[in-house]
Structure 1
Amino acid sequence: MTIGIDKVKMSNKNIRKIRSIITIIIIILFWEYASQTELVRKSILPAPSTIVKTFFTMISSGELMGHIGISILRVLEGFLIGAILAIIVGILCGLYKKVEDYLSLLIGFLRPIPVLAWTPLLILWLGIDEASKVALIAIGTFWTVLLNVVSGIKGTDKKLMEVTSMLEKDKRTLLLKVILPSALPSIFTGLRSGIDMAWRSVVGAEMIAASKGIGFLITYAREISQPDVMIVGMICIGIIGILIEKLLAFCERHLLKWNISIIEN
């Protein structure tokens, strides 16, 4: 019976994927038709076939991979810094009420400030080199991950904590075997949202002050009227975002299995 249900679920999942692919194919076909018949000016929206040619030309020249590599490196650096700090602060706020009390007003004041609003100040403090861009990405990542970490820790099953307390387990055991495993799904939700924000931040930073990167590529292409290059840059951002999302989902599935084994032990 269980095998039959699993097959039905897999079948439904495949059907949903096929539907989403069909939507993309229809859009591309209509887009190509509109461009070739000049319903839309090619100078504004080039045909998909033109964009594909531009993509492979930039790949073969190495230009595109150079910009992508720089952006990925910036994202990874900023994301790791922001996520690690957010997890540490989130754990402290979730576990200790006094820490949350001391930081609540500061967090409430700083969190609504748009990430790009920090750009002029960071450039003034850190210059236009890598440090300001990495710092901007770290800020964008920090708030998204922090809120999910705090939410996950506060959502820990009180009964599990009571049982651990009754068994006279120390705080380290409580944290590693009860609180963190319970908060792991929420933490991963924060990480997945955080990497999305990290990409938004790096593109914004590169559009304002950079000589390399996907954001710079898009901005420079706009200045010299190359919409096909702009769209190639946007497509690359989308593809990389999907790949990173899949990677985090893969890690989440495996860590949640480890999570269950920890709770059972």
Structure 2
Amino acid sequence: MIGYEKEKETNTKTERVKNFILAIILPVLLLILWEWNVSKGVLNGNVVPAPTTLWNTFLGLVTSGKLLEGLAVSFQRVLIGFVIASFLGIGIGFLMGLFLPFQKAMSSLVNILRPIPTIALVPIFIIVLGVGEATNISIIMIGAVWSILLNTTAGVMSVDRKLMELAYVYRLPKRDIIFRIVLPSAMYSIITGLRLGIAGAWMSVVAAEMIGATSGIGYMIMFAKSLAQAANMYVLVIVIGVIGFLIDKILQFFQNQVRRKFCGILN
């Protein structure tokens, strides 16, 4: 079957080396091809700078402190917005999963608001809240909350009905049912929602900073665009992608721990 491979042990040193090589071989080939095309004049180096140029630009941004300063501002906004989205998404998601009337009452509102692109909300938030941190954090929160909410709801609703029936038979307190049955069963889905949510938050902060901020990595991209600094723009975009990748890997690690503990599934 296409895309299917028999499950096997992947924790051996040989397998780890093999997986690492497979993961980097395509990006390395693309970088080599990119550099070669720029050096041969196939690509305009002023519009699409060579990887070596981007590396030197990256080092310049790091040594000057501008990159770290911009990232620190963006990280702070993402953290605040993501924490708010997590509390709202998990809280409302639990209520929607546990109580059918509440789910029916909320479903129409959620399904109307969820498809609205985050970037379309930026002008509205600027008009209502003004240009400032409140707007940026609100946009980040909106960009993260839906994935967390929907995955939490799905996780709660997927709890084994037999476990719930057994809990009622033994008359377990509602607190024990939630924390000993529902929460462990839904944890994997919740972390999946958090992984998607942090990705949405990271994308949203860049969009918000491009339009309604005077600091942060999104603002730095727009500033580089206004000065026609193509290398700076490429570097900043790549940095955004790499950081998003690293954040996802960290959450994936915790998700795998949950999987081993509660699901009994080994990678």
TM-score by length of 2: 0.91
Match of 1:132 in 2: 135
Superposed displacement of residue 259, structure 1: 4.1
Mapping for residues 21-170 of structure 1, pairs under 5 Å: 21-170=24-173
Match of 1:6, SS? coil
Secondary structure, in 3 states, of the residue corresponding to 2:9?
Answer: helix
Which is helix-richer, 1 or 2?
1
Amino acid at match of 1:165: Y
- Name the structure 2 match of 1:251: 254
The question of whether the paired residues in 1 share the 8 Å contact of 2:224 and 2:233 is answered with yes
- Name the amino acid aligned to 1:161: M
Alpha-carbon deviation of 1:98?
1.1
Q: 2:209 aligns with which of 202, 206, 218?
A: 206
> Offset of 1:101 from its aligned partner?
1.5
* CA apart distance, 1:209: 1.4
User: 1:6 Cα shift?
Assistant: 2.6
Deviations 1:226-245 (A, max 9, x none): 11100110111112112211
Q: How many residue pairs align between the two structures?
A: 257
**CA RMSD after TM alignment:** 1.7
| Counterpart position of 1:186 | 189
Q: Deviations over 1:122-143 (max 9, x none)?
A: 1112111111000001011111
Structure 1 unmatched runs, 5+: none
Q: Which moved more, 1:105-114 or 1:251-260?
A: 251-260
Q: Measure, in 1, the Cα distance between the counterparts of 2:30 and 2:113.
A: 40
The answer to whether the 8 Å contact 2:118/2:204 transfers is yes
How far apart, CA to CA, are the structure 2 residues paired with 1:116 and 1:57? 31
Distance 1:89 1:166 in 2: 27
SS in 2 for 1:113: coil
Q: 2 CA distance for matches of 1:107 and 1:228? A: 41
Structure 2 contact 188–258 (Cα < 8 Å) conserved:
no
Alignment partners' CA distance in 2, 1:47 and 1:157: 54
Taking the aligned partners of 2:92 and 2:13, their CA distance within structure 1 comes to: 39
In structure 2, distance between residues paired with 1:66 and 1:72: 10
Q: What is the CA–CA distance in structure 2 between the aligned matches of 1:78 and 1:14, rounded to whole Å?
A: 37
> Does structure 1 retain, via aligned residues, the 8 Å contact 2:47–2:230?
yes
AA matched with 1:147: L
Number of the residue aligned with 1:18: 21
Match of 2:242 in 1: 239
Q: Percent identity?
A: 37
Normalising by structure 1, report the TM-score. 0.92
**Superposition deviation, residue 255 in structure 1:** 4.1
Q: Partner amino acid for 1:87? A: I
Question: Do 2:192 and 2:255's aligned partners in 1 also have CA atoms closer than 8 Å?
Answer: no
* Deviating 4+ runs (over 6 angstroms): none
Letter in structure 1 aligned against 2:32: L
